[in-house]
Amino acid sequence: MPRIIGYRCPICKTVNPTEIKYCLKCGQWLLDTINEATPVIRGSYFKKTSNSRSLLSWKNILVAVVIGIILIAISSTRTITMPVLAFSKGTPVESKNYTWDYRGKSYQWEVEIPLSLLNYDRQITNDLQKYLNAGKSERQAMYKVMPSVQKKYLQDAIQKKLRSLGN
């Protein structure tokens, strides 16, 4: 039986890995039953794109892009501006500034997190810590009333700990 290595987007024709549900290029839902993505079988993808002329031109374009990026990186200043997350007006936030030096350049990063999100994260952390410090009967009682999100976090943390102990 042929092995499916990905799905071709019905809109932009991009080949996407099998694990992806949305096209990496245009965002089209690949599981759509109206505009169905076509499976790409191992070997068929290369047969359709084996035109040496198009590969040569793609190689030239790729080399030109890489050289352009390198030239821009060498000649430009090392400033990267990250997009600002927009919160509702009046949303209380906690800010933290990070600065560091690397290869003679100074970098600065300002992070803002809404207090509601930060408090939610802290509450989950505190609840999970209480759970881990509790006795067996207390844990059972706590687990029964624990929200499903916290149960998932707890299960993931336990699995991660078990994997780290196994290595």
Q: Is residue 64 part of a domain?
A: no
For CA atoms 56, 60, 63, 66, give the dihedral sign.
negative
Q: Is residue 74 part of a domain?
A: no
Q: Is residue 90 part of a domain?
A: no
Number of structural domains (the chain) is 2
The pTM of this model reads 0.39
Q: Is residue 68 part of a domain?
A: no
Residue 144, domain extent: 117-166
> How do the pLDDT tens digits run along the chain, 167 residues long?
678 888 899 998 888 888 888 888 888 888 888 888 888 887 655 544 444 444 456 666 777 778 877 777 666 555 556 666 677 788 888 888 888 888 777 788 888 888 888 888 888 788 888 888 888 899 889 888 888 888 888 888 878 877 877 75
Question: How many C-beta neighbours within 10 Å does residue 37 have?
Answer: 22
Q: From CA 125, how far away is CA 118, in angstroms rounded?
A: 11
Q: How far apart, in Å, are the Cα atoms of 51 and each of 13, 41, 47, 54?
A: 17, 18, 8, 6
Q: From CA 147, how far away is CA 155, in angstroms rounded?
A: 12
Which residue type sits at 13? K
Q: Could you tell me how far CA 117 lies from the centroid of its own chain?
A: 19
